[in-house]
Amino acid sequence: MIVKIITFFLIGMAVLAMFGKLRMPKVGKRDDKSLGPVSKCKHCGSYKIGKGPCPCQKKG
């Protein structure tokens, strides 16, 4: 009985995954150009969000 429930669950998840790929085929295909003008911190190398300083440079 439990094996049958697990089998139906896995089949249902596979069907949902197939429909998800049909609706949104370009979700996983990103490159650095799709992020727009993004700058990196010169000290730690992490991406800076906004115009303020990087969190590694903030004191306090």
Q: Does 39 score more than 60 pLDDT? A: yes
Predicted pLDDT at 36: 58
Q: Rounded to whole angstroms, how far apart are CA atoms 46 and 54?
A: 8
Q: List the one residue out of 29, 26, 18, 27 whose CA is nearest residue 10.
A: 18
Cα Rg of the chain (Å, integer): 22
Is the pTM higher than 0.75?
no
DSSP state of 39: E
Six token digits for residue 53: 């300083």
Predicted pLDDT at 1: 93
Percent of residues, the chain, with pLDDT higher than 90: 27
pLDDT digits (tens, 9 = 90+) for 11-38: 999 999 888 777 665 555 555 455 556 6
Q: Where are the beta strands (DSSP E) in the chain?
A: 39-40, 47-48
